[in-house]
Chain A
């Protein structure tokens, strides 16, 4: 297949427009919300003069529209501003926690998609049998169970009852990993990541599993599968080599979008397990009215999500030659 550059260009333009709209909404939403960054500093010793200094520092003394223009101008230069609370560059603050979020998300996504795809095949195989009913009910249960509840449950069992796994953070108190790589390759770190990623994987599992099952059931009706069966190939070979290979396509693109979502972090899981990630940072930023940090972090997450959607679209056309980009425009 050939890439349709015109389409890609148009899709790219749409992406920029989407991002501009998101940036604008974010900018105004945070400023129109009740609350004021100064309330964090309400203190009996805080004088009017000091308040004004702070407002000026934060750039909040200018009219809203002017603030908006400054914000857009900075954005174009890749400058997300300075966090009110941490007094540091937003990108730098985000960069401190982003790796933790990525590890957690990727690990859970991998567990969820591997188990999900295999589970989907299994359920399709068990079509019409009791096992299918039980499987689907179980999947729907894991999908609907609130994440904080599952989180508290695994904590209560594995951390507090059995004492097998730690309950919070990315490492033991007072222990520092020499580098990001040392952390990633340390078994201790993985021990800390196990419970949160398991909880998240339980939640993420439903989508690939059900998607895979439905696609399998559909592809198994296709004539090439019937022919394969007629050729006398083993059921296992038919399922894996013929049906599953084709059924997996939508799951792959769903995963691409899943990666995009993952950047935003997972607010609930990160808070339940006190995981120092982006989701937690976002919540803190919003509650402390740290506008630049909140909008910067949201924007970054949105940008990656929009981009991954774009990638998923392209990926789809690459993986399935029957689909041409014109169809999707």
Chain B
């Protein structure tokens, strides 16, 4: 073949290739990333979320993405994120502090294990078998040091995969009246602030007023040891009902109604009850009551507490004050998630009620006693519906509170609470969702008020839907993380009342928190670097394109 015909034939082959591949190789147009809707709650109801996501939207636009902020009410947002998992791209979200979340299991396992992608809390659709293995292993590793290694590793993987675009841990700021209470008598609990169980039993009245009067924006829905209802409900039943263990101010489970908790083996836990405990009606608290309290949720009548007792195969009574819990398998979080979670309820009251339920369609959640009887440091006194709940100190308790009464008032007008803490209608401002700098201002003008700010166990983040490209790509997620300038969010959005977050474990949980995480920051430049390395390109209009060979497969979410 002559050189001419060689050229001619190679040209022909090229032509043929181009013709054939025309339909296969995407044009640049198909590689343009679709308009991305960034979902946030309204500025009026969630100003911090709205401002953070507005900022992200602007930064994404800089990056060449057609990002559009979409404001929807919480009901619609949660509906979309939770029930339509393949329909959204980016949404603001938050996890709040609860005592049981002091154990890392809930955040490490439930949020990211692949088994919870379909209908559990892994609504972002994160799937990583390597992570799954670690999340599973930490569950059954009873030795704290060994488990700690796994928890540290898990946090590292979450950062490598940029699963969430974390923003901040907010500060919890709580104001109380130092004319009424001794200043050093409040307890700052790790990640929970001073609004907690330990404060309520320790706070020391120094004047004539012996009642702690606090506020809540929400009302109490139920006072029932077998029903996990609203947040403020939990403040109430935590005080009325004792538990075998409680989460300590440092965030670790410690014996409470139990004198001692001893692991006989990986699946056997022996409990020795405190001697002399009495229910609020005077009856003694016995091992039988404890057995009853843990076995009741195993029936179908207590659906919400069932997950916390599922691991128990049987509860053995050794004597009046001694029990042994036999577990189906080792469970590292057993102390925090079960022993420190299950409310102790008197069998002589609830036994007959459960008998009754067997023949009725309702379950135990529908029962409301007129006077709930527990064995905790406070006993029920009164509940004025939608107005207040009053508890009296239980003087016979082994940790009897120093105040006479604990009163929570349901105040719907948030602005009003600022006036009420000044004129004495309240003496402990337990919930305030407004601007923290206003609080600070208030405290500086009133010498009798004091404010304690602590870093929240909970955190805010920007949820990225891994079920939909380009968010399925860790490099793309890292780019978004890089453009979310956390310092800026802390200063501009939170006015300094927050700290940057980089893990589901709060800095307050010193034992579990991984301090060596390398959180990708660096702004637009770093983001472009991440994207280039992963093959993303920009067209001549500056629009971001998928890596060569990848085309847009999803339609915009709105």
**Main secondary structure on A side of the interface with B:** loop
Instruction: Name A276's contact: one of B300, B386, B405 (CB within 8 Å).
Output: B386
Choose, from A7-15, A151-159, A215-223, A309-317, the stretch at the interface: A151-159
Answer whether residue B483 sits at the interface, using C-beta atoms and an 8 A cutoff. no
A167: chain B residues at CB < 8 Å are 413, 416, 419-420, 423, 425
Count: A-B pairs, CB below 8 Å: 147
What sequence of 0s and 1s flags, for each residue 265-283 of chain A, a beta carbon within 8 Å of any chain B beta carbon?
A: 0000011111011001100
State the CA gap A29–B416 with chains docked (Å): 33
Query: In the complex the two chains form, is B386's CB within 8 Å of A48's CB?
Result: no
B82: chain A residues at CB < 8 Å are 39, 42
Query: In the complex the two chains form, is B382's CB within 8 Å of A87's CB?
Result: no
Q: How many residues of chain A have a CB within 8 Å of chain B? A: 52
State the CA gap A82–B73 with chains docked (Å): 26
State the CA gap A271–B425 with chains docked (Å): 17
Q: Which residue of A lies closest to B75 (CB)?
A: A35
B222: chain A residues at CB < 8 Å are 86-87
Query: In the complex the two chains form, is B386's CB within 8 Å of A87's CB?
Result: no
What sequence of 0s and 1s flags, for each residue 145-164 of chain A, a beta carbon within 8 Å of any chain B beta carbon?
A: 00000001001100110010
Answer whether residue B3 sits at the interface, using C-beta atoms and an 8 A cutoff. no
Answer whether residue B555 sits at the interface, using C-beta atoms and an 8 A cutoff. no
Known interface pairs A155-B419, A160-B423; A168-B409 also in contact (CB < 8 Å) = yes
Known interface pairs A96-B386, A167-B419, A273-B413; A45-B106 also in contact (CB < 8 Å) = yes
Answer whether residue B148 sits at the interface, using C-beta atoms and an 8 A cutoff. no
Query: In the complex the two chains form, is A276's CB within 8 Å of B387's CB?
Result: yes
Instruction: Name A274's contact: one of B72, B211, B385, B410 (CB within 8 Å).
Output: B410
**Main secondary structure on B side of the interface with A:** mixed
B419: chain A residues at CB < 8 Å are 155-156, 159-160, 167
Instruction: Name B219's contact: one of A42, A87, A284 (CB within 8 Å).
Output: A284
B368: chain A residues at CB < 8 Å are 87-88
What sequence of 0s and 1s flags, for each residue 107-144 of chain B, a beta carbon within 8 Å of any chain A beta carbon?
A: 10011000010111100000000000000000000000
Query: In the complex the two chains form, is A97's CB within 8 Å of B75's CB?
Result: no
State the CA gap A45–B100 with chains docked (Å): 11
A48: chain B residues at CB < 8 Å are 118-120
List 19 interface pairs A-B (beta carbons < 8 Å), by A numbering: A36-B75, A39-B79, A42-B121, A43-B121, A50-B303, A50-B304, A85-B221, A87-B222, A87-B368, A168-B411, A170-B384, A170-B387, A173-B211, A174-B388, A174-B390, A174-B407, A276-B384, A280-B412, A287-B75
Closest 10 pairs (CB-CB, A-B): A35-B75, A276-B386, A34-B76, A44-B110, A160-B419, A44-B121, A87-B366, A96-B385, A39-B78, A276-B387
Residues of B within 8 A of A (CB): 72-76, 78-79, 82-83, 106-107, 110-111, 116, 118-121, 211, 213, 219, 221-222, 227-229, 300, 303-304, 306-308, 362-363, 365-366, 368, 381-382, 384-388, 390, 405, 407, 409-413, 415-416, 419-420, 422-423, 425
Can you name 13 extra interface pairs (CB under 8 A) apart from A44-B106, A169-B388? A42-B121, A44-B107, A48-B119, A155-B416, A167-B423, A168-B425, A169-B387, A270-B412, A274-B413, A274-B416, A276-B386, A277-B386, A281-B386
